Structure 1
């Protein structure tokens, strides 16, 4: 064995302290996103369940039938639902959302616009049905729908244009240090291994 080659156990130590790969970073961020989404959903269900229980006790004691918990359900539901939609799009659980997120000129801004347009207008329609015979919610649906339609058209047209593909030169290639065995990037001008300091151009 060459004197410049480290034993296997030392290579494992070096590899253990390497910077995480993009796949590892993605898995770690998705795992954190999943945990935060689950906690958000749990707190939402727990608090809304408590409010419904309070409403039931209020109905029994005072006879107030109006289901007032619907307001916090929708209000908090906007944010909680948005959290869940983003998680599903980033974790590739729903292929449609994942494809939409990755499409040029659509992405997260379009998903955000679509979610709040749909959810808020449902809330306004429910309020309209419960409290007023005048269909005032139609003005919001149509007015906001025009803006949403413009967003959709502009994103679609921009995505279909012949855009120049950005060619990234293959200047970064996987290589291994002859001294310590660590994986290194072979960039132009690189002279020394970042882990052991060995001259990588030898």
Structure 2
């Protein structure tokens, strides 16, 4: 045999139709997608009392929608309150639907070699925003949203790509919980209304 490594690569008794599975999946996906939602009604969008704050999930991987790449939620920040503080490797984009406030961002130095390291930089930047603005969160930035109005709520729409997660880089760390976070509370429209009156 011309190849010196023949004894190495020719070993093994395991046989599996893995490429055929890819072909089958590609063939069957259109039919499966027909069963997935193309429209999501408000009553189908779950509320969550999360460590990041009061959320209404618009599109999420667990909601069986046709969206394969992006998760989107609406965050409600009560008057004078703030979100949790967290950091994730994926970049994020938020649209300010209602209200006014500011973000605090702290960039991190990152090193990805055989191990993954991140270290917060000293500088914390403040970015003010109001309804109609877009907030961009760079990759691996510690960030937190603040409602600057003591009388009115803030509503933000957050969109984040799932690609990092599917590449094995679902690096998400909660650093501080939102003040409203209480795991014993189950959110619904009535409960949210009470938070907005505070």
> Of the two, which has the highest radius of gyration?
1
* Bigger fraction of residues in helix: 1
TM-score of the superposition, structure 2-length normalised? 0.26
Tell me: higher relative CO, structure 1 or 2? Use CA pairs within 8 A at least 6 residues apart.
2
* Bigger fraction of residues in strand: 2
